[in-house]
Chain A
Amino acid sequence: DIQMTQSPSSLSASVGDRVSITCRASQNILIYLNWYQQKAGEAPKLLIYAASTLESGVPSRFSASGSGTDFILTISSLQPEDLATYYCQQTSTTPHTFGQGTKLEI
């Protein structure tokens, strides 16, 4: 299985801050990488697919980059509604493993 490792596991930031979350794959996954936001008690929501493509309807303060094994999700100006846990997921091969999550506190 491909292992996905996110860092940090938790992050505390203030409104307006620029924050970044990294995700590392244990082997080359090209750009088969999705990012999700999950708020408490809800299903995950797709933010980014194919490593850097913003899903329709997602605010432009979210961006992402990377390829191969190293990926970054960035929120350019943190908003109160961004309080959530963020997950990366590889879809290069099955099982489509997720990172362990990054809990963002504001």
Chain B
Amino acid sequence: QVQLVQSGAEVKKPGASVRVSCKAAGYPFTNFYLHWVRQAPGQGLEWLGLINPGGGISPTYAPRFQSRISMTTDTSTSTVYMELSSLTSADTAVYFCARVGSYSKFDHWGQGSLVTVSS
């Protein structure tokens, strides 16, 4: 079955960077886009960006994160990575990856990775 397994919790200091991984299994990795969404404590869902593991086009990022976010793919391990830099306390959140299938439906989600930014 489709599985998206994310890396574990991280604690970072303000100004640092964090990299979260999302390992896919159970489907053809390069056939589906992967998106990243985050959720601050007690808050709603915020879309961060998308990447096409099959390549051919550059990742697309939400404008407010454009200058400090990067998404990459390692097809040899069926893993996508999301790196966020210049962290502040406002970046404390659970970060989710999600597979997007036909009709732009976010049909499978990772379990989430908690990133805590604290001095």
* A and B part of one assembly: yes
Q: How far is the CA of A55 from the CA of B112 in the complex (A)?
A: 21
Instruction: Let me know if B109 and A43 touch, CB within 8 A.
Output: yes
Question: Which of B105, B109, B110 is close to A49, meaning CB atoms less than 8 Å apart?
Answer: B105
Instruction: Let me know if A98 and B44 touch, CB within 8 A.
Output: yes
User: B96 at the A/B interface (Cβ < 8 Å)?
Assistant: yes
**What's the dominant secondary structure at chain B's contact region?**
strand
Hey, which chain B residues are within 8 Å of A91, CB to CB? 104
Chain B proximity of A6: nearest CB distance (Å): 9
Instruction: Let me know if A94 and B62 touch, CB within 8 A.
Output: yes
Q: How many A-B residue pairs have CB under 8 A?
A: 61
Chain A proximity of B25: nearest CB distance (Å): 16
Instruction: Let me know if B44 and A43 touch, CB within 8 A.
Output: no
Please count how many residues in chain A sit with their CB below 8 Å of the partner chain's CB atoms. Answer: 24
User: A66 at the A/B interface (Cβ < 8 Å)?
Assistant: no
Hey, which chain A residues are within 8 Å of B63, CB to CB? 1, 95
Hey, which chain B residues are within 8 Å of A99, CB to CB? 44
**A51 nearest in chain B by CB position:** B103
Interface residues of A (CB under 8 A from B): 1, 32, 34, 36, 38, 43-46, 49-50, 53, 55, 87, 89, 91, 94-101
